[in-house]
Structures are given as structure tokens and as C-alpha cells.
Amino acid sequence: MATDPAGPSETGQGPQVPNGPEIPASSPGQEHDPPEPGSAKPPSRTGRNLPVAIGVGAGLGGLVLLTLLTVKATFLIYMGAAIIVALTELAGAFGKRAIAIPLIPIIAGGAAMVTCMYWLGAQAALGALALTLIAVLAWRLPGGPSGYVKDVTAAVFAVIYLPFLATFVSAMLSPADGPRRVLTFIILTICSDIGGYFAGITLGRGGRHLMAPVISPKKTWEGFAGSVVACLIAGWLCITLLLHGHVWQGLLTGAAAVLAAILGDLVESVIKRDLDIKDMGTLLPGHGGLLERLDSLLMVAPVLWLLLYLFIPAGQG
């Protein structure tokens, strides 16, 4: 779930939602053209349409709450739809570098993996993963040897990066207290983004210490500090109030979540740079592509699942 406190994406196209510890796009002394008379209200100093971004984010979050707090299995449908869209965006990005991944077996296999993890457990999900990889290898055969290794390697990456990592969300959702586990996971990831965003547009404006200039030139250590503080507080509150764990467990969970979230954001950024693209998509106004909203969530999911599995016995929360 990348966030972009600087507004335009790091490659220069389109506004995105706050992306963790990144600096604002406008630097002191940087000139801006004045808005034309009669033009629409200019974007906020973050360089994006903040009301639209907030509205879209609220809508996505509302669907999360609606599915988790009613019939929790419906959250799998919501998540599955998001994964399908993200896979389509990733396939389009690969296509710009003449890499063709077979979407049909990946989507079908991904749905089987997520469903098996929820209803049948890890062994069934692992079997679905193996069958998906075999199907990918077979599906590409009629295309001939030219580019075979390149295409199936990218396809295997897509399977692991999206549906396989998403199976850990199914694993969190499966227990009786699953909705609270998944809610904790989502809250922590969002807090990493929000904390980094506000620190990036406040502390980052006065003194910017770049975090990863080659990969994401707008990320700062000031923003990272904001993400850490927000996740520590959120971890403490969520683990103690929602899952009835200990304070130290909440702090450790929050610290692990922020590290995984930043990693997810950096991974998605370096993928875009390697593929020489500006954005994964334009589906969500004020946010960009859906994959750019899922990147942090994908990395946080297995980390949170493991820590909650160790700290909070199933059904205890």
C-alpha cells in the first residue's frame, strides 16, 4: 500500500496516495505556475487532489469493514477481486517490456490458493500453489521456446508476489477471531502510510535526509520515523484492545509491521523502475493503480500472520 507524501509518483506521472516516508514534491524555492483564471481548485501542497484521495480510501476501507464485520468469508471475495485487478495491472506492466504472463492459470490458481487456505488449511493451499506453477509451465508451451524462460519466470514471480502472499490474509481470517486479526493487520499497514505521510510533509520539509534515493528519491528518514511512531502506537492499541495481548507484543508487532510495509513499498518502486514505467495503473482517482495500494499489505501479511500466530492463540483474541 504505497503512499506518497509528495504527490506525483516518483517517476512523475499522476498523483498517488501518501506513500510512507517520502518527501514533498515541492522544494523550498521551487517555482510553480499560477493557476489559470477560472480553473478548478489547485491540488494541495502535496501535489494531489487530497479530498478525492481521502474519499477513495474511505470507500475502500468501508468495504473492508462491511465484509469483515458481517459475513467474514465475503472479505475473501473482496480480496480476490483486488488481487485479480492487481494481477492485470502487473501483466500490463510486464507487457511493456515484451514479457507475457498467462493470466488465466494464475488467476484460477490464485483463487484456489486463497480459498484452500481459508477452508482447508496450509497443506491444501500448498498443493494449489504447486498445481498453479505446473499449469503456468504447461500453458506457455504452445508459445514456443522464444522467451519461454523469461515469461514463465515472470509468471512464477506474479504467483508468489500476489496470490501466494495473499493466502496469509486468508490464514489470519480463518480463526473465530479472524476479523479482528485482519483488521489489526490493515490498521497497522495504513498507520505506516499515514505516519510517514504527515512526517514527510512536516519534518521532511525542513531537513530532508533521503532514505533510498536510487529506488525512491522522495523517501526520507523523517517520514520513516513518523511511520515507526504511528505503527508502535497502533500496534500497542490493536493488540491490547482488539486481541487482548500484552503491550510488549503490540510494540513488537508494530515495529515488524512498519519494516515490512516500507519493504513492500520499496519493492514495488524498484519493480516500476526496472520496467521503466511511471505507474502500475490509474484505476483509483488520487491513488494510482490498485497494486500500488496493495504493495505494503502484501509484505505485511505474512509477518503479521506469524506474529499473531505466535502471540495470540487462535480464538483467544
Across 147-274, the runs of DSSP E, i.e. the strands, are: 210-212, 216-220
Contacts of 234 (CB under 8 A, 6+ apart): 187, 188, 191, 254
Q: How far apart are CA 85 and CA 254, in angstroms?
A: 29
Q: Per residue in 22-46, pLDDT tens? A: 434 333 333 334 444 444 444 444 4
Q: Per residue in 70-87, pLDDT tens? A: 999 999 999 999 999 999
- Structure-block grid coordinates of residue 178: 479472524
Across the chain, the runs of DSSP E, i.e. the strands, are: 210-212, 216-220
Strand, coil or helix: what is 8? strand
| Residue where the block lists cell 492463540 | 313
Greater model confidence, 4 or 286: 286
Q: How far apart are CA 152 and CA 163, in angstroms?
A: 16
Greater model confidence, 298 or 206: 298
Phi first, then psi: what are they for 118, rounded to 5°?
Answer: -75, -45
> What pLDDT, on a 0 to 100 scale, did the predictor assign at position 282?
67
Give CA torsion, residues 46, 52, 56, 57, to 10 deg: 30
Q: What is the pTM assigned to this prediction?
A: 0.80
